[in-house]
Amino acid sequence: MSTSKINLVMLKKLFIFTVIMFAFGYALVPFYEKFCEVTGINNLLQPDILVEENWVDTDRWITVELDANTTGIPWDFKPLQSSVRIHPGEPVDVLYEIRNHTDREVNGQAIPSYSPRLLERYLKKFECFCFTKQVLKPNEVRQMPVQFTIEPGIPADVHTVTISYTFFELPGGQKAINDK
């Protein structure tokens, strides 16, 4: 083979390799999704299992502040109680309310956020409206529970924690007439 032929073969191989690496970049997306699912990293949206006969630390009180936000979704969203006081280990129920104040159907998804950050490790949620998307009919109002506990292992200097949710609009609901 002449040099230029050999070169062309090489060019082809390297080009195919480039295309494979481009695809590899995309393959990282499902890879990381699976990786996080298997290792349990970032599983904010999966329910935890309720363990019976949990130890409750009745000597401690923790104030849980409840917060609600919306971004780009025409809903009102608020907790029905702004905070609760609980013992670590004790399961509690709180209620949030969403109200669609438009006359179209809207899909929404809530994303949780915790403060302080170490709360993520000790907070166990058994039920939450954030595990699935919410669909509200025109002007519908809905009350939704969150059932959770904070494990007694949480460091003793933590007295107040915040659980915050932000609702985002998902595509798929009825679009407003002048939405783009």
Partner 1 sequence: MAAVHGDVHGHGHGDHHPTGIMRWVMTTNHKDIGTMYLWFALSMFFVGGTLAMGIRAELYQPGIQILEPELFNQFTTLHGLIMVFGAVMPAFVGFANWQVPMMIGAPDMAFARMNNWSFWLLPVAASFLIISFFVPGGAAAGGWTFYPPLSVQGGLGVDLMIFAVHILGASSIMGAINIITTILNMRAPGMTLMKMPMFVWTWLITAYLLVLVMPVLAGTVTMLLTDRHFGTSFFNAAGGGDPVLFQHIFWFFGHPEVYIMILPAFGIVSEIIPTFARKRLFGYSSMVYATASIALLSCFVWAHHMFTVGMPVVGQLFFMYMTMLIAVPTGVKVFNWTATMWQGSMTFETPMLFSIGFIFLFVIGGFSGVICAIVPIDIQVQETYYVIAHFHYVLVSGSLFALFAGAYYWIPKWTGRMYNETLGKWHFWLSMFFFNLTFFVQHFLGLAGMPRRIPDYALQFADFNMVSSIGAFGFGLTQILFVYIMVSCVRSGEPAPEKPWEGATTLEWTHLPTPAPYHSFETPPVIK
Q: Which residues bind partner 1 (CB under 8 A)?
A: 3, 6-7, 10-11, 14-15, 17-26, 28-29, 32, 39, 41-42, 71-72, 109, 111, 117, 120, 168-171
**Rounded-to-integer distance, Cα 112 and Cα 77, Å:** 13
CA angle 63, 67, 69 (to 5 degrees): 170
Task: Output the smallest distance, CB 113 to partner 1, in A.
Answer: 10
Residue bearing tokens 């904070």: 150
Task: Output the smallest distance, CB 73 to partner 1, in A.
Answer: 9
Quick check: 87 and 63 in contact, CB under 8 A? no
Task: Output the smallest distance, CB 1 to partner 1, in A.
Answer: 10
Nearer to partner 1, 21 or 50 (CB): 21
Nearer to partner 1, 99 or 133 (CB): 133
Task: Output the smallest distance, CB 81 to partner 1, in A.
Answer: 26
Could you tell me which of 109, 120, 108 has the C-alpha nearest to residue 163? 120
Provide the residue type at 101 as one letter: H
Nearer to partner 1, 10 or 176 (CB): 10
**Rounded-to-integer distance, Cα 141 and Cα 68, Å:** 16
